[in-house]
Amino acid sequence: MMRRISIPLEIGKVTVGGGAPIAVQSMTKTDTRDVLATVNQIKQLEDCGCEIVRLAVPDEEAAESISVIKKSVSLPLVADIHFDYHLALAALKAGADGLRLNPGNISDREQIAMVLVAAKERGIPIRIGVNAGSLPANFEPDATLAERMVDIALEQIQVMENLDFNLIKVSLKAFDVPATIKAYQMIADKIPYPLHLGITEAGLPRAGAIRSAVGIGVLLYQGIGDTIRVSLSAHPCEEISAAYEILKSLGLRKYGPTLVSCPSCGRAEIDVVALAEAVNKELEKINKPIKVAVMGCVVNGPGEARDADVGIAGGKGKGAIFKKGKVVKTAVEENLLEALMTEINSAFPNGEE
C-alpha cells in the first residue's frame, strides 16, 4: 500500500495528511449548548482513543459554547457548520481548531470569502464536507452521484484557492459505498489536499461498521485517506473502536489488544466462543498492542497461536498456552483463562510495553 501524498494540516495538535498516522475522529452526540454533557462526552472520546472531535453548531449559543468547552478538554475541536456562515465566524471566534462547511448548503461566494479571511487569520483549516444527502437537487442533475460530489467539492476548492486559502481538507460521503469509493478515487488525483474518509448514515453498529469497513477499507488499501470517521447510530466510542479495527486490519495503526480466535466447528473440544468472549473481556482492561490467539483445535491452533504474542490451542477438554512461539504450559479447560491471563500479565506488566 503506497499512501497518496497530501499537504499536511494541523487540526489543533493533530497532523492530518502528509504521511502522518491516519487520524481517528468522531462527533459528539450531545447538545453542544449543554457544555457539561458535551465536555463529558469529549472526555469519554479521548479515553477511548478519539483524536479529533467534531461538534454540531446549529446556532450562536452552540458556537459560543465552544470557548467554554475548549477550556476543559484537550482534543482538537472542529465546528460543524451548515446553512449559516455567521456560525462559522462565531465558531472561529470561540476558538474552534477546524471548521467543516457543507458546500451543499453554503455556496454564496462572498459569505465563504468572509469565513476564509477569518480562518486564514487564525490558521484554521476548513473541511469541505460534501454529503450525498445534501447536494442541491439542481446541481448537475444528470451526472452520477460520484461526479456530482466531486464537482461540488472542486467548485468550492476553486473559490478557496482563488482567495489564496489552502488549509483545505475534503470529504465526499454517501451511504452508497461504490459511489463513495469512486468519488474519492476521482478526486484523489485532482487535488493535493488531505482526504477525510467516511460512509455517511451507515446505520446501527453491526451493519454500519461492516459497510464503513468495506468503503473505508477499499480506499485505505488504495493508499487514499488521511483521517477517518465511522458514522454509527450509537455512542461515539463505538465509532472509534470500529475505526481502529479498520486501521488495525490493514496494519495502518496499532491500538490496544488484537484477538485472533477461531470460529469453532465440530472439531473443537473446548468451548471456543465462551473462552474467546471471556478473554476479550479481560483484554478490554489492557491498553497494549498485544496479539492473543484463542484456537479450538490442532488444525490451525498451534500455527496461529505461535504467531500471536500469547495464545491458547485447545485439545480435549484442555489446552496448551503458547508464548512467543513456545508452549509454556498446559491447563484443563476451566483453568485456561487464568493461565492465559497470567502469561499476558507477565508479558505486559503495568506501565510497560
- List, in order, residues 6 or more apart from 17 with CB less than 8 Å away: 6, 7, 8, 9, 169, 193, 194, 226, 227
Answer for which of 15, 44, 105, 107 binds a copy of itself (CB under 8 A) is: 105
Least separation in angstroms between residue 219's CB and a copy of itself is: 10
**CB burial of residue 318 (10 Å; 0-12, 13-18, 19+):** middle
58 lies in the site for a copy of itself, by CB under 8 A: yes
214 lies in the site for a copy of itself, by CB under 8 A: yes
Q: Which of residues 193-212 bind a copy of itself (CB under 8 A)?
A: 200-211
99 lies in the site for a copy of itself, by CB under 8 A: no
10, 22 contact by CB (below 8 A):
no
Least separation in angstroms between residue 244's CB and a copy of itself is: 9
Residue type, 84: D
52 lies in the site for a copy of itself, by CB under 8 A: no
- List, in order, residues 6 or more apart from 288 with CB less than 8 Å away: 256, 257, 348, 353
Query: Given CA atoms 63, 69, 70, 76 in this order, what sign does their dihedral have?
Result: negative
Least separation in angstroms between residue 246's CB and a copy of itself is: 6
Least separation in angstroms between residue 68's CB and a copy of itself is: 14
The grid cell for 5 is 501524498
325 lies in the site for a copy of itself, by CB under 8 A: no
Q: Which of residues 27-46 bind a copy of itself (CB under 8 A)?
A: 27-33, 38
133 lies in the site for a copy of itself, by CB under 8 A: yes
Only segment of 84-92, 107-115, 160-168, 225-233 that touches a copy of itself (CB under 8 A): 225-233
Answer for which of 7, 177, 237, 286 binds a copy of itself (CB under 8 A) is: 177
101 lies in the site for a copy of itself, by CB under 8 A: no
Q: Which is nearer to a copy of itself, 23 or 167 (CB)?
A: 23
Q: Which is nearer to a copy of itself, 72 or 249 (CB)?
A: 249
Measure the CA–CA gap between 126 and 221, rounded to whole angstroms: 26
Q: Which of residues 137-176 bind a copy of itself (CB under 8 A)?
A: 175
251 lies in the site for a copy of itself, by CB under 8 A: yes
Q: Spell out where 66-107 has E strands.
A: 77-81, 98-101
Q: Which is nearer to a copy of itself, 150 or 295 (CB)?
A: 295
193, 160 contact by CB (below 8 A):
no
Query: Given CA atoms 186, 211, 227, 118 in this order, what sign does their dihedral have?
Result: positive
